[in-house]
Amino acid sequence: MTNQGSGDVTIVDLSTMSPVATLAIGGKPAGVAVSADGARAYVTSPEGKYLTVIDARGRRALRRIALEGGPLGLAVAPDGRRVFVADMYDGRLFAVDPETGAVVATAHVGVTPSGVAVTPDGRLILVSLRDADRIALVDAASFEKIGEIEVGRHPFGVTIDAAGARAYTANVESDDVSVIDLATRAVVATVKVGKRPYCVALAQGRGFVTDQYAEAVSVFDLSTLAPVGEVKVGEYPEGIGASRDGKTVYVANWFTNEFWSIAADSLQVVGKAKTGDGPRAFGAFIRAMN
Amino acid sequence: MSFVVARRGIVLAALSLAALAPSTGFAHGPSRQKVTETIEIAAPAEKIWAVIGNFQDLSWLPVVAKTEGTGDNEPNKATRHITLKNGGEIDELLTKYDAKDFSQAYRIEKVDVKVLPVNNYSSTLTVKPQGDKSVVEWKGAFYRGYPNNDPPPELSDEAALKAITGLYQSGLAALKEKVESGK
């Protein structure tokens, strides 16, 4: 969990929902992404203008990689060899080699790039362009923008399903989720959710959406796109992620400094942990190898 | 946390900031800020709610000159246009209203950062009964006035926090004085 107020990262053991380590990060950390093999976690500090490389097994920060602009959203390539970081202020997406710390490529994607996601085959990168109400498509090999898709107003988090078939954007200003078919690269549906949605997680054939102004997680069915229910959570829920087995969904409650777990089938809140101040956890923050 | 001394000087200083950057609508900086202020008042919650429970009447807040609005206390319909004594103007929307639990939430729809150096401001005002006393809690979440990196000092995170903290502290102190003195 990136704690933007206290400037650190809390590592929580999901089996006990207990904090097990706190790492000083600085620079108002916000974005986070864990590599597919669970070895590394990467954290952006938009105010400090750097990316921190964390040894997720040893639970220690290894090094900082300086970046320009305002690094916020990020995603790790499936093979772990690149970290894609969006610069929210100057409209760029950086491809960072996490071992050497070099920015190996830069794509100009459009205004206020926010959430970043990569397809499971590693070939396509999606970047939400918040103030343009669009998603930018970036070809991972050439690292060039190859298209845009118009979505709802102010898309922030973007999530791709495990099959690489669909993507989901949380549209903060229009209070809905755009459902994108990745084969045709078109929006196929828009799902109404609660106020100020931040991010979408997928589990058990359901979409889970943090509604910042509603103290709630909206739940909808991924096949019918009909609402399933709403889970009351803490204040200003932001980052949300599912366990790899899809049984549990985890939510960062920014205002109340708590990390909650929710059973994806019964929608019951099953656990709570304390975090540092202002947990955002914007990105793929779940490392659990269950 | 509670306090007794009104800190009107701070909020007036904050509200009269001569900021140079233009207001930028929904754009905002990278780090949302939060403020929670509370005060204990020697009165039942009903009596305090009678003063602050009407979204269309902000006269209990010392910096406010006038409140004009429509929609009574209906969430997502009620709006108010606030004119401050220093001439600043703020438009707000009521987003939640629960008279039974003495709680209301609202957000700023429009404000110039010269008036209040914040963006994307949302707030909750709640009265919590505690025996024959009450605790009033005022909470806010917002971004600083400057939407990009490296803000000028008057539009920094610190400036936003100082402005809102000062507003809440002076407002709650004035509320306490008003309710406890019975004026």
pLDDT tens digits along B57-106: 999 999 999 999 999 999 999 999 999 999 999 999 999 999 999 999 99
Q: What is the CATH number of the domain that holds B146?
A: 3.30.530.20
In order of A135, A164, A198, A279, the CA distances from A118 in angstroms are 13, 9, 18, 24
| pLDDT score of B15 | 41
Q: What is the tens place of the pLDDT at every residue in B107-150? A: 999 999 999 999 999 999 999 999 999 999 999 999 999 988 88
| B3 occurs within a structural domain | no
Please give the model's pTM, rounded to 2 decimal places.
Answer: 0.90
Nearest to A70 among B26, B122, B149 (CB): B149
Give the confidence band of B20 by pLDDT, cuts at 50, 70, 90: very low
Q: Kindly state the tokens that stand for A203.
A: 């589990």
| B2 occurs within a structural domain | no
Please name the amino acid found at residue A82.
Answer: R
| B68 occurs within a structural domain | yes
Q: What is the tens place of the pLDDT at every residue in B147-166? A: 888 899 999 999 999 999 99
Inter-axis angle of helices B157-181 and B45-52, nearest 10 = 120
Q: Choosing among B24, B28, B34, which should be mutated to test the A contact, i.e. which has the most A CBs within 10 A?
A: B34
| B114 occurs within a structural domain | yes
Topology of domain A2-274 in CATH is Methylamine Dehydrogenase; Chain H (2.130.10)
A247 φ/ψ sector (left φ>0, alpha ψ -120 to 50, else beta): alpha
| B52 occurs within a structural domain | yes
| B99 occurs within a structural domain | yes
- Number of structural domains chain B divides into: 1
Domain containing residue B79? 8-181
Q: How far is A15 from chain B (nearest CA, A)?
A: 30
A134 and A148 Cβ atoms separated by less than 8 Å: yes
Taking contacts as CB-CB distances below 8 angstroms, the residues of chain A near B30 are 28, 30, 46-47, 70, 72, 88
List CB contacts of B103: < 8 A, sequence separation 6 or more. Answer: B96, B97, B124, B125, B126, B127
Residue of B nearest to A89 (CA): B148
* Structural domain boundaries in chain A: 2-274
Please report which helix (H) or strand (E) contains residue A158, including its range: strand A155-160
Q: How far is A33 from chain B (nearest CA, A)?
A: 17
Please report which helix (H) or strand (E) contains residue B79, including its range: strand B79-84
| pLDDT score of B147 | 86
Q: Kindly state the tokens that stand for B29.
A: 């900086």
Q: Choosing among A213, A215, A253, A258, which should be mutated to test the B contact, i.e. which has the most B CBs within 10 A?
A: A213
Q: Locate tokens 């305090």: which residue?
A: B48
Question: Is the pLDDT assigned to residue B17 strictly greater than 50?
Answer: no
What are the b/e assignments for A140-163, b being 16+ CB within 10 Å? beebebeebbebbebbbbbbbbee
List CB contacts of A162: < 8 A, sequence separation 6 or more. Answer: A120, A202
Count Cβ atoms below 10 Å from residue A289 Cβ, excluding itself.
9
